[in-house]
A and B are shown apart, each in its own frame.
Chain A
């Protein structure tokens, strides 16, 4: 089986016209690159004007996109969950729309928004919002569907409106999952916002691209370290928040 897998891999690489052995030929080049990148020039943090600004821009993009996207994802989740939707047909429609949206690659949305709204973080924010709607609308709907039905029915039996049944019966049960998902959304969007920067949304991604294009490899390495610290810090903080709740 292992052998078959390796053979498949080799065949696939051959199709891509990649010679696995050429990697060996590239090794000296790789070592050179390693030398060029080392040591990381962390000084860019204070020497390069606007870098801190870029970091803030990336964070702002991720946050604004997350909040905007979650504001859309929440109603979509309610419409897409069998137990809160006003009509089954609406549920099917919402689900299909979300699934279609998830399948359209986010950088296409970005390209469209870049043309519509111009270069910069605004287009990035909109892209993140759209992506968040697609993924978290679905996750919200699933969390809401996992809610116990009996307590909600009991509230219906008291003469409460459907909206009150959702507010007091379904949502308190789903709340932990919804909050965990919201924190996760920020995690996801932070990574994505860096990627989108490469396509013209600004922020850290743009810094990466610029440093690479101007062959400042030690800066690229430093930027990678900064990214790493940023992402792990946010991950830690959201883990802590999750535990708190």
Chain B
């Protein structure tokens, strides 16, 4: 006979449901998710939301510089990360770097990707003090984690025949990389860099709030000073930046990948 059994299916669904619900309830309890807090919060809701309106339009002018700083922060971090990911990527590729170099680099890349940018920022703030430099470094480091790994992986997958043919023409090591490896990984690298730019813009807003400056700082500051109408304007500013970055990066990426396919 067949293995189909309605009761077993029902039981399995109930069991999975029960496990998830129990874990969820335990987690929710741990996080103080209590109906009365919720009710209380919702009770204030309408008033609270109303306090964000009308937006303080007159503050819009003050947001231009912070918005610029956020964009510049994300752009320079992406560029720096991109540059640094070349040597790192080479050092992480098995067909380029020796094992003694590759393995520690790979481990470091994994570490970089695992640690959230905000934590990296805390380190850099200690090292360089508050300000955009700490922000640039933590975002750049995060970018290396992604782009360096990508480059390393891409280098390992590069068609050896192409590399050989370039090498056979008498090219030096660097020429081989430049003319044999790079052209093959460039489209993927460009696409990932654009994606990383999008991520960096989002993160630079967050980092701004904990010391890197820019529009994030304005949001945090306005909220802290209970100037909610001003916060609305700052949020609109960040919205504009993030929206534009996503749209631009998405469109360029689609064009790149579309041209590839």
- Report B104 CB to chain A, min CB distance, Å: 15
Assembled-state Cα–Cα distance A15/B132 (Å)? 10
- Report A218 CB to chain B, min CB distance, Å: 12
Q: Are B32 and A111 in contact (CB under 8 A)?
A: no
Number of B residues, CB within 8 Å of A: 62
Which residues of chain A (1-51) have a CB below 8 Å from chain B?
Answer: 2, 5-6, 8-9, 12-13, 15-18, 22-23, 26, 29-30, 33
Q: Are A57 and B206 in contact (CB under 8 A)?
A: no
Q: Is chain B's interface secondary structure helix, strand, loop, or mixed overall?
A: helix
Q: Which residue of B30, B69, B239 contacts A57 across the interface (Cβ within 8 Å)?
A: B30
- Report B66 CB to chain A, min CB distance, Å: 12
Q: Are B219 and A111 in contact (CB under 8 A)?
A: yes
With contacts A67-B24, A232-B110 taken as known, whether A18 is within 8 angstroms of B30 at the C-beta atoms is no
Q: Which residue of A22, A108, A208 contacts B119 across the interface (Cβ within 8 Å)?
A: A208
Q: Are B122 and A198 in contact (CB under 8 A)?
A: yes
Which residues of chain B (28-44) have a CB below 8 Å from chain A?
Answer: 28, 30-34, 37-38, 40-41, 44
Counting residue pairs across A and B whose Cβ atoms lie within 8 Å, the total is: 166
Assembled-state Cα–Cα distance A11/B230 (Å)? 31
Assembled-state Cα–Cα distance A16/B34 (Å)? 45
Q: Are A105 and B31 in contact (CB under 8 A)?
A: no
Assembled-state Cα–Cα distance A26/B239 (Å)? 35
- Report B182 CB to chain A, min CB distance, Å: 11
Q: Are B116 and A111 in contact (CB under 8 A)?
A: no
Task: Say if the beta carbon of A124 comes within 8 Å of chain B.
Answer: yes
CB neighbours (8 Å) of A64 from chain B are 24, 27-28, 30-31, 33
Q: Is chain A's interface secondary structure helix, strand, loop, or mixed overall?
A: helix
**Would you give the 0/1 interface string for B102-136, flagging 1 where the beta carbon is closer than 8 Å to chain A?**
00000000110011111100110111100111001
Q: Are A16 and B69 in contact (CB under 8 A)?
A: yes
Q: Are B31 and A60 in contact (CB under 8 A)?
A: yes
Q: Which residue of B37, B126, B132 contacts A217 across the interface (Cβ within 8 Å)?
A: B126
With contacts A60-B27, A105-B202, A124-B31 taken as known, whether A16 is within 8 angstroms of B132 at the C-beta atoms is yes
Q: Are B48 and A115 in contact (CB under 8 A)?
A: yes
Task: Say if the beta carbon of A140 comes within 8 Å of chain B.
Answer: no
Which residues of chain B (50-67) have a CB below 8 Å from chain A?
Answer: none
Nearest A residue (CB) for B20: A67
Task: Say if the beta carbon of A104 comes within 8 Å of chain B.
Answer: yes
Most buried by A among B44, B82, B205, B206: B206
Q: Are A194 and B127 in contact (CB under 8 A)?
A: no
Assembled-state Cα–Cα distance A231/B145 (Å)? 15
A-B contact pairs, 18 of them (CB 8 A): A2-B83, A8-B79, A15-B68, A16-B73, A56-B30, A60-B27, A61-B27, A105-B216, A107-B205, A108-B231, A115-B223, A116-B41, A117-B41, A198-B210, A212-B125, A227-B114, A227-B115, A228-B114
Q: Which residues of A contact B (CB under 8 A)?
A: 2, 5-6, 8-9, 12-13, 15-18, 22-23, 26, 29-30, 33, 56-57, 59-61, 63-64, 67-68, 100, 102-108, 111-113, 115-118, 120-122, 124-125, 191-192, 194-195, 198-199, 205, 208-209, 212, 217, 220, 224, 227-228, 231-232, 235
A-B pairs, 3 with minimum CB distance: A60-B30, A60-B27, A121-B31
